[in-house]
A = this chain, B = another copy of it.
Amino acid sequence: MRFIYFFLSFVLFFSCNKYQETKRNLEDSSPEAEIKKPEDAFGIVIHGGAGTILKKNSTPELEAAYTAKLEEAIRVGHEILKHGGSSLEAVEKTINVLENSPLFNAGKGAVFTSEGVNELDASIMDGATLNAGAVAGVTTIKNPICLAREVMVASPHVLLSGKGAEFFAKEKNIEIVDPSYFYTEKRMKSLEKVKESVKTAQMDTLAAFYDPFIREAKYGTVGCVALDKSGNLAAGTSTGGMTNKKWNRVGDSPIIGAGTYANNATCAISSTGWGEYFIRAVVAHDISARVEYKGESLKEAAYEVIQNKLKNLGGTGGIIGIDNQGNMVMEFNTAGMYRAAMNAQEELTIGIYKE
């Protein structure tokens, strides 16, 4: 117990000191977030969503809360990796911390659909075997990333959805909660605000739908990628989707190749952003394919896909990635992305804004 207090105090102290330093590293341009690792490397990178995250809209208290939670999460995964645990285990347990926090749009903090419910999506992929598991549109699963992993290892399927996925969860003793667990006042207010802006918008319905709902919203998906000491890569993503989403919309988070991809031959990627564009650009697999077939570095591939291809389509958001050498990248074309990276030397970088 004393150890835990000591550890937490250390974490908080470290966080406060480190935050100013690391922010500087990440402030000017995200490609610089890539750090070279030695051959016996391991490492972990996380995101808590990308979007219109501006310093002027935040407070020092809120920044500190986000930074502390990002650090708490990444240290959970880093501990697992440090002790020889698998990248899959690190990805799942790290994402659990973010899912259990109301700060991020995943698990507890999931946004509301147009009907005022929380529909959660998640996926996970094992770079060693190319096994994958995903769930879409679940409303009673406390930690969708755990269910995604169960789908991967204990079903012959990759993607389960809705009630069927929840039935499978019950069979497998995955933790079920009442849908009211996901209620947070903050997210309900966001929904009300978005609905109000539709009513008052002086645009046609489609344009109204696009602009105030998505462009100005924070996306808030969470994700994690990791390389373990055995050289195995894994990636995972978990989300509540988009505020005011309709018609059982499914975004990129449960889509292997778009929201999540891991392959020991190349890299592991988790996406966050305007999901429709990530699906159309097959973002996560495209980065991997550029590394594999074009010989680009992870940094070059991530830059090209996020800053050029995705942006040219009109898509906004970002990715985190780690390659099989331990090189890490946090690339985004939005004003900010909640993010953190930590290598085998326990060097931690945490960032929120682009500048």
Contacts and interface: CB of A to CB of B under 8 A. Distances in A.
Contact of A161 (B155, B157, B248, B313): B248
A104 interface: no
Interface string A146-188: 0000000011111111111101100000000000000000000
Oligomeric state, in number of copies? Answer: 2
A235 interface: no
Nearest to A168: B247
Contacts of A245: 157
A108 to B, nearest CB: 23
A286 B210 CA distance: 30
Interface residues of A, number: 49
B281 A250 contact: no
A289 interface: yes
Nearest to A278: B158
Interface in A243-270: 245-251, 255-258, 261
B248 A163 contact: yes
Contact of A157 (B155, B163, B167, B249): B249
Interface stretch (A18-26, A130-138, A193-201): A130-138
Contact of A164 (B163, B247, B255, B286): B247
B289 A293 contact: yes
A141 interface: no
Given A136-B161, A157-B249, A165-B248, A281 B130 contact: yes
Interface string A205-231: 010011000100000000000000000
A159 B254 CA distance: 11
A36 interface: no
Given A132-B280, A137-B161, A289-B289, 13 more contacts: A125-B280, A137-B162, A157-B246, A157-B276, A159-B255, A160-B249, A161-B161, A165-B247, A256-B258, A256-B282, A282-B282, A282-B285, A290-B293
